[in-house]
Amino acid sequence: MADAPVDTVASVPVAVVGAGPAGLMLAHRLGRAGVGTIVLDTRTRREIETTQRAGILEADVARDLVETGVSDRILRDGHEHEGTELRFGGRAHRIHFKALVGESVWLYPQTDVFIDLADARERDGGTVHFGVRDTEVLDITTDAPRVRYTAADGSRHEIRARYVVGADGSRSMCRDLVPEERRTRYGREYPFAWFGILAEAPMSAPELIYAHSEHGFALISQRTEAVQRMYFQCGPGESVDAWSDDRIWETLQARVAGEDGFRLKEGPVVEKTVLRFRSFVQEPMRWGSMVLAGDAAHTVPPTGARGLNLAMHDVKVLADVLLRALGREGGAALDAYQPRALQRVWRAQNFSYWMTRLLHTAPGASAFDLRRQLGELDNVVGTRAGRTYLSEQYTGWPASAQD
Ligand code: PHB
């Protein structure tokens, strides 16, 4: 296959496998610096646009979308949140990020980030091929890696590049190209999943609510004035078919119920998905001429809303080192990528794990476990150090001097 005839051969400095936010933002950043890319994805644009993902952006990520010229739609359609609510013991506790650490976050769904980036690529004349198949990444231990693929119309193509970026998500095939004996995979599974819904209902709260209850975790998020996004902890093997609208609302209401009489505003459930998640990191993030970015190299549980933000940080650093590597510094410039990216990755791994454990009820949790958890939650909301810790981690870490 590696040398079978193809219909076209294209040459470009950087080939990108994966047209999610990480791949497209990298292409956008490189494009602004005059470096050409070709981006490939096995999914169609429509498939990516209609897959619900998380919705919280760090202020820095939101600023970068606007300031690098992707789009300023976030300023109109996004919602700036200066804090979030932790609910436990049947009571609400607001964490005021802005007052504590001077930052806020933006509620702006990842699907909208993707749409903005895909539109920006089109507007700027960038090349993105959706719906491709049989993608092969070849010769990554040389200075002339290649990517071969079959386009949606069945024609075969080859891209000759100087670097290949694997931004192909949590089921990455690029990361498997790092030889088994030279890579390390770190991770853990969780004994629960999230049941995610979209409901046609008014907003129940102006900001997100992360709720702990003896029945398990729930998260109340929003999409628009008329459509809401919510999640509740469920078993990893749960089937959506077993859940009627009534059962879903009963479960959600029980998890947010409290002495203040708070109730969610209900409406028809228009989408249901069970989301399994895990913590995962693969090192190294680079092998020869191939570099991994975003979920391909690391995934986090969704509880801390870190995933997309982390991917965006990766590609900011990666665009910088790739530009240097393609310029006078040469390939050695890429050595800086992993250490710069990984520091934030492990911070985010810790925070996502911590927040997941803080809020979920493990199967078989004892009365002691539950009380201890309430003690920890009380420490978080009841001490300035606790509130500040959560705020700093949730709004993202300031970029280090070199970033
Ligand atoms: C979402 O709005 O989908 C969302 C928000 C925060 C999270 C996870 C998901 O931590």
What residues does 79 pair with on adjacent strands?
107
Is the pLDDT at 352 greater than 90? The verdict is: yes
Residue 1 lies in a domain: no
Is the pLDDT at 107 greater than 60? The verdict is: yes
Examine the domain organization and report whether 129 and 24 are in the same domain: yes
Examine the domain organization and report whether 48 and 112 are in the same domain: yes
**Number of CB atoms found within 10 A of residue 59's CB:** 17
CA of 320 to the centre of ligand 1 (A): 29
CA of 207 to the centre of ligand 1 (A): 11
Q: How far apart are alpha carbons 72 and 165 in whole angstroms? A: 27
Residue 374 lies in a domain: yes
Report pLDDT digits (tens) over 285-319: 999 999 999 999 999 999 999 999 999 999 999 99
User: How deeply is 370 buried, as exposed, middle or buried, from its count of CB atoms within 10 A (0-12, 13-18, 19+)?
Assistant: middle
Of 312, 304, 366, whose CA–CA distance to 63 is shortest?
Answer: 312
Please give the C-alpha separations between residue 72 and each of 60, 66, 132, in angstroms, as whole numbers: 14, 5, 30
Average pLDDT over residues 338-347: 96
Query: Tell me, what CATH number does 176's domain have?
Result: 3.50.50.60
Examine the domain organization and report whether 272 and 283 are in the same domain: no
Query: Tell me, what CATH number does 382's domain have?
Result: 3.30.9.10
The predicted structure's pLDDT at residue 400:
59
Give the confidence band of 329 by pLDDT, cuts at 50, 70, 90: very high
Examine the domain organization and report whether 32 and 121 are in the same domain: yes
Please give the C-alpha separations between residue 175 and each of 3, 185, 294, 398, in angstroms, as whole numbers: 22, 10, 11, 28
Q: Identify the domain containing residue 267 by its residue range.
A: 190-277+365-395
Residue 49 lies in a domain: yes
**Number of CB atoms found within 10 A of residue 267's CB:** 15
Examine the domain organization and report whether 159 and 46 are in the same domain: yes
The predicted structure's pLDDT at residue 2:
82
For 91, phi then psi, to 5°, come to: -130, 155
Does residue 377 or residue 52 have the better pLDDT? 377
Examine the domain organization and report whether 130 and 34 are in the same domain: yes
The predicted structure's pLDDT at residue 401:
45
Q: How far apart are alpha carbons 238 and 394 in whole angstroms? A: 29
Average pLDDT over residues 32-43: 98
Residue 87 lies in a domain: no
Examine the domain organization and report whether 338 and 371 are in the same domain: no
> Do 257 and 90 form a contact (C-beta atoms < 8 A)?
yes
Average pLDDT over residues 365-384: 97
**Strand 227-234, strand 218-222: pairing:** antiparallel
Examine the domain organization and report whether 64 and 208 are in the same domain: no
> Do 111 and 53 form a contact (C-beta atoms < 8 A)?
yes
Examine the domain organization and report whether 37 and 51 are in the same domain: yes
Examine the domain organization and report whether 216 and 75 are in the same domain: no
The first and second tokens of residue 58, run together, are 């760090």
CA of 302 to the centre of ligand 1 (A): 7
**What is the chain's alpha carbon radius of gyration, rounded to the nearest angstrom?**
22
Is the pLDDT at 364 greater than 50? The verdict is: yes
Residue 29 lies in a domain: yes
Whole-number percent of the chain with pLDDT over 70 = 99
Residue 120 lies in a domain: yes
Compute the mean pLDDT over every residue in the chain, rounded to the nearest whole number.
96
Please give the C-alpha separations between residue 234 and each of 123, 239, 273, 276, 304, in angstroms, as whole numbers: 42, 10, 11, 10, 18
Q: Is 305 in the pocket of ligand 1 (CB under 6 A)?
A: yes
Examine the domain organization and report whether 168 and 202 are in the same domain: no
Residue 370 lies in a domain: yes
Report pLDDT digits (tens) over 38-80: 999 999 999 999 988 888 999 999 999 999 999 999 999 999 9
Give the confidence band of 341 by pLDDT, cuts at 50, 70, 90: very high
pTM: 0.97
Give the confidence band of 399 by pLDDT, cuts at 50, 70, 90: low
Examine the domain organization and report whether 351 and 239 are in the same domain: no
Residue 97 lies in a domain: no
The predicted structure's pLDDT at residue 397:
83
CA of 152 to the centre of ligand 1 (A): 33
277, 279, 284, 290 alpha-carbon torsion, rounded to 10°: 20
**Which numbered atom of ligand 1 lies nearest the CA of 53?**
3
Q: Is 308 in the pocket of ligand 1 (CB under 6 A)?
A: no
Structural domains counted in the chain: 2
Is the pLDDT at 13 greater than 50? The verdict is: yes
Report pLDDT digits (tens) over 204-241: 999 999 999 999 999 999 999 999 999 999 999 999 99
